[in-house]
Chains A and B, each alone.
Chain A
Amino acid sequence: MTKRIFRSIFLVALAVFIAGTALIMGALYSYFSGVYEEQIQEEASYLSTAVEEMGLDYLEGLESGSHRITWVGSDGTVLFDNAANEDAMENHADREEIQEAMNGGTGESERYSSTLSQRSYYYALALSDGSVLRVSGEQYTVLSLVVSIWYYILLVLVAALALSLFLASRVSKAIIRPINEIDLEHPEEGDTYEELAPLLGRIAAQNRQIRAQIDEMKTKQQEFATITENMNEGLLVIDQETEVLSYNNAALRLLGASKVEGSVFSLNRSEQFRHAVDQALHGQHSFDLMELSDRTYQLIANPVYEHGKVVGAVLLLLDVTEREERDKLRREFTANVSHELKTPLTSISGFAELMKNGMVKSEDIAHFAGNIYNEAQRLIVLVGDIIRLSQLDEGTTGLEKSQIDLAEITKAVVDRLHSAAEQRGITFDLQLESAMVQGNAQILDEMVYNLCDNAIKYNRDQGKVRVSVSPNAGHPKLVVSDTGIGIPYADQARVFERFYRVDKSHSKEIGGTGLGLSIVKHGAAYHDAKVELESVPGKSTTVQVLF
C-alpha cells in the first residue's frame, strides 16, 4: 500500500516537475529569443543608416561589441568583419540570409553549433548600393541551459523523493487506519469509508451465512456424534495410510484401547483385522469374524471412494458373541435332538423287524412288545419335554399367571413320585411351609417334578431326598437336596445345558432325557427366579430356587 502510494506520488511529482520546467523554459526561451532577435534587427538598422552615410570608416571606427558585424559587397566578397580577418574569408553570396537580403531587402537565418549548445542568429539588411550589412549574435540553447542547471534539477528530484516517501507513509497510514479498524465480525458497525459500505454489507451477509452454516454443521455433527456414541457397534473411519480419522467410544471399548493415535493397527493387529483393512483399502468389501479376548466380533470393512479412487475405509465392529454362542447351542441342540429321537426309534424298529420276520418265539412276544412299549414311552416323554422347552423358549406369552402355593404343588409332586422312590428305598424328608408365588401352575409343577425326579434318579439306594419350601419374607425358596452321586465340579456349570449328561454312557439305565435341568432353568427364568446348584461329587447335590 505505502509502496504503491509512494510510487504514485513520486511519479506525479516527477511529471509535474518535468512538465513545469519544460513549459517555463520553452515559453521564456522563445520570449527572450524574440527580444534578442529584435535587438539585433534594431542594431542592424542603425548600423545600415550609419554605413550608408559614412561607409567603411564608420565600421572601422566602431568599438567591438558583443555582436558580430559583417559587411558583404554586392558580389558577395566580405568588405568588413569585426570578428575575423575579412581578406581570409570566403565569398558570402551563397549564405541564406545574404541571398534573402539581396533579393528582398532583409534576410535572417539561424544556425546551431555542432554541440547544439549554441544558437547563432543572423540578420542581413540590403544597403542602397547593393551591398549587405549583416549582424549576428550567439545565444545559449535550451539544452545547454538544462545542462547548466542539472545540479538544481537533481536537488529538486531528491526533495520530491523524500517528500513522496514521507507523504506516502502518512497518507497510506491515514487511509488504512479506518480499514484496519473495521471489526470483521460486525463490519456494519463503526464509522468507515462510505465507498466500502457495499463490501462490508457483503461481508456481514457472508458472516451471517457462514455462522448459520457452522451452526447447521455443528448440529449435524452433534447428531452424528450422538448416534455413533450411542451405538453398540464400534465405528472406525481410516484413510489410505490407515490413519484413524474418526471413531466412536464403542470402537475403543471393543478393541480395549484407551486412546487412538496414528495407525488403526495400533488398536489391533490381529491377522483377520489386518486382512480386512488391507482388503477394504484395495477396494474390496470384507465381512469377517474376529476373535478378541474370548469374544467374537463381526468385522465389516468397506472401502470409501472419491473420484473413483479408494481414499479410505469404514470399519464396523459388532459384538456377536451371544449370537455365535446361541448358534452353537442351537446346532448342538438340533444334533442332540436328532440323536435322542433316533436311539429309541432304532430299538423300536429293530424289535418290530424281528417280530415281523417271525424270528421271535410266541412266548417272547410279550417281552419284545414290552420293550417296544418302553422305548415308545421314552420317546413320548422326550417329545413332551422338547415341546415344553420350546414353549418356554417361545416366551410362553399365552400362559396365565396366578397366585399359587408352592408347598401345595410340591406336595402333589412328591405324592406322584412316591412309588418310584419306594422302589429304591429312598425316603422323602419334607419341610413345607405355605409360600405364595405369582406364576403358572403347570410350569411350576414341571420344575418341582424335574428337581425331585433328578433327586431320586441320581440318588443312591436307601438314600434321602430333602425338600423344603419356605416363604422367606416374600421371596419363596424351594430347596431340593439329595444324598446321591453328585456332579463333578467340571460339569457343574454345564448341567443346565440341553441334553448335557454327566455320564453319557449310562444315561439309558437311569432314564431321563437330559432336558430336566434345562426346563428348570427356563421355568425359573419365566418366573424371574434364581437357580443355584451346589454339589459335592459322590456325596450330595442341592438345588435351590429363589423366587
Chain B
Amino acid sequence: MRNQFNTQLNTLHVELIKMGALCEESIAAAMKSVLDEDETMAERAAATEREIDRKERDIEALCMKLLLQQQPVARDLRAISSALRMISDMERIGDQAADIAEISKFLKDCPLTGRVHLKDMAVAAVQMVTDSVDAFVKNDLSLAQAVKAHDDVVDDYFKQIKDELTALIVEDSHNGESCIDLMMIAKYLERIGDHAVNIAEWVEYSITGVRKLEDDPS
C-alpha cells in the first residue's frame, strides 16, 4: 500500500515536470509567433495549450485519487495540495500563451514589434517560468525565492513598454491598434510572471509548510 503510494507520488512529480515543460514550450512558441511572425508557432502554442489542459485534468484526478485513497498527512499532504494549486497556475500560463499566439495573427508585418522591449520582457518571463519549474523539480528553496525577486524585472519591463507604446501612439495615431495589441501581449507576459511567482510560492510552501499571504500578487 505504502509502496503504491510512493509510486503514485513519483508519478505526480513526473507529470508536474512534464506540465511545467509544456508551459515553457507554449510561451516560447507564442513569443516566436510574435517576434518571428511564424504562424506554425502560433498553431503550436494553441496545440500545447490543449495538451496543458489535458494534463491539468489528469493531474487533478491523480491528486484526488491520492487524497481519497491514501489520506496523506504532513509533507505528502502539502506536496499534493500545492500540486493542485500549481496546476491551475500552469494552466493559466498555457491559456495566456495561447492568447498571445492568437494576438500574433493581428501583428503581421508590424514594424513596431521591434521598437519596444517585448523580446527582453519575454525572455525574462520565460526565465521565471523555467526557474519556478526548476525550483519544483530540484526542490530548491533559494531558487523559488529568486523567482519572486525576479518578478520585479518583468514588472519594470511592463512599465517601460507601456511608456514606449504611449510614445509611439503620440508619434503617430495610426500606430494605435498595433500598440494596443502589443500592450495586451505585455500584460499577458506580466501575468505569466505573476503565475510563475505563484508556482514558486507553492514550491516554497511544499518545502517549508509556511505560506506567506501578504503581498500575494494573485
Within 8 A of B (CB), among A119-174: none
Main secondary structure of the interface of B (DSSP, over half): helix
Q: Which of A241, A261, A262, A271 contacts B21 (CB 8 A)?
A: A271
Instruction: Using CB atoms, name the residue of chain A closest to B14.
Output: A263
Interface pair B137/A241, CB less than 8 Å apart: no
What residues of A have a CB within 8 angstroms of the CB of B7 in the complex? 241
What residues of A have a CB within 8 angstroms of the CB of B21 in the complex? 265, 269-271, 274
What residues of B have a CB within 8 angstroms of the CB of A242 in the complex? 14
A sample of 7 cross-chain residue pairs with beta-carbon separation below 8 angstroms, ordered by A number, consists of A241-B7, A241-B14, A243-B10, A266-B137, A269-B20, A269-B137, A271-B25
- Number of chain A residues close to chain B: CB under 8 A: 12
Instruction: Using CB atoms, name the residue of chain A closest to B136.
Output: A266
What residues of B have a CB within 8 angstroms of the CB of A266 in the complex? 17, 137-138
Interface pair B25/A263, CB less than 8 Å apart: no
What residues of A have a CB within 8 angstroms of the CB of B24 in the complex? 269
Q: How far is the CA of A263 from the CA of B15 in the complex (A)?
A: 10
Within 8 A of B (CB), among A349-392: none
Contact pattern, B 1-43, Cβ under 8 Å of A = 1, otherwise 0: 0000001001101100110110011000000000000000000
What residues of B have a CB within 8 angstroms of the CB of A243 in the complex? 10
Q: How far is the CA of A269 from the CA of B21 in the complex (A)?
A: 6
**Number of CB contacts from chain A to chain B under 8 A:** 33
Question: Shortest CB–CB separation between residue A438 and chain B, in angstroms?
Answer: 51
Question: Shortest CB–CB separation between residue A264 and chain B, in angstroms?
Answer: 9
What residues of B have a CB within 8 angstroms of the CB of A263 in the complex? 10, 13-14, 17
Within 8 A of A (CB), among B131-161: 133, 137-138
Q: Which of B10, B11, B18 contacts A269 (CB 8 A)?
A: B18
Q: How far is the CA of A95 from the CA of B16 in the complex (A)?
A: 105
Contact pattern, B 77-111, Cβ under 8 Å of A = 1, otherwise 0: 00000000000000000000000000000000000
Question: Shortest CB–CB separation between residue B6 and chain A, in angstroms?
Answer: 10
Question: Shortest CB–CB separation between residue A404 and chain B, in angstroms?
Answer: 53
Q: How far is the CA of A163 from the CA of B18 in the complex (A)?
A: 71
Question: Shortest CB–CB separation between residue B25 and chain A, in angstroms?
Answer: 6
Instruction: Using CB atoms, name the residue of chain A closest to B20.
Output: A269
Interface pair A241/B20, CB less than 8 Å apart: no
Q: How far is the CA of A274 from the CA of B137 in the complex (A)?
A: 15
Q: How far is the CA of A266 from the CA of B16 in the complex (A)?
A: 10
Q: How far is the CA of A271 from the CA of B44 in the complex (A)?
A: 12
Question: Shortest CB–CB separation between residue A292 and chain B, in angstroms?
Answer: 13
Interface pair B17/A241, CB less than 8 Å apart: no
Interface pair A265/B17, CB less than 8 Å apart: yes
Select the residue from B7, B11, B21 with max chain A CB neighbours within 10 A. Answer: B21
Q: Given A269-B17, A269-B18, are A262 and B25 neighbors across the interface (CB < 8 Å)?
A: no
What residues of B have a CB within 8 angstroms of the CB of A271 in the complex? 21, 25
Q: How far is the CA of A30 from the CA of B30 in the complex (A)?
A: 113
What residues of B have a CB within 8 angstroms of the CB of A261 in the complex? 138
Query: Top 7 closest A-B pairs, CB basis?
Result: A269-B21, A265-B17, A266-B137, A263-B14, A269-B17, A242-B14, A241-B10
What residues of B have a CB within 8 angstroms of the CB of A274 in the complex? 18, 21
Question: Shortest CB–CB separation between residue B26 and chain A, in angstroms?
Answer: 11
Instruction: Using CB atoms, name the residue of chain A closest to B28.
Output: A271
Q: How far is the CA of A251 from the CA of B217 in the complex (A)?
A: 39
Within 8 A of B (CB), among A244-291: 261-263, 265-266, 269-271, 274
Instruction: Using CB atoms, name the residue of chain B closest to A268.
Output: B21
What residues of A have a CB within 8 angstroms of the CB of B137 in the complex? 265-266, 269
Question: Shortest CB–CB separation between residue A272 and chain B, in angstroms?
Answer: 11
Q: How far is the CA of A266 from the CA of B13 in the complex (A)?
A: 9
Interface pair B18/A265, CB less than 8 Å apart: yes
Q: How far is the CA of A261 from the CA of B14 in the complex (A)?
A: 12
Q: How far is the CA of A266 from the CA of B140 in the complex (A)?
A: 12
What residues of A have a CB within 8 angstroms of the CB of B11 in the complex? 241
Instruction: Using CB atoms, name the residue of chain B closest to A242.
Output: B14
Question: Shortest CB–CB separation between residue A543 and chain B, in angstroms?
Answer: 36
What residues of A have a CB within 8 angstroms of the CB of B25 in the complex? 271
Contact pattern, B 184-206, Cβ under 8 Å of A = 1, otherwise 0: 00000000000000000000000
Question: Shortest CB–CB separation between residue A257 and chain B, in angstroms?
Answer: 9
Instruction: Using CB atoms, name the residue of chain A closest to B9.
Output: A262
Q: How far is the CA of A410 from the CA of B133 in the complex (A)?
A: 61
Instruction: Using CB atoms, name the residue of chain B closest to A265.
Output: B17
Question: Shortest CB–CB separation between residue A481 and chain B, in angstroms?
Answer: 38
List 19 additional contacts besides A241-B7, A262-B10, A263-B13; criterion CB under 8 Å.
A241-B14, A242-B14, A261-B138, A262-B13, A263-B14, A263-B17, A265-B14, A265-B21, A265-B137, A266-B17, A266-B138, A269-B17, A269-B20, A269-B21, A269-B137, A270-B21, A271-B21, A274-B18, A274-B21
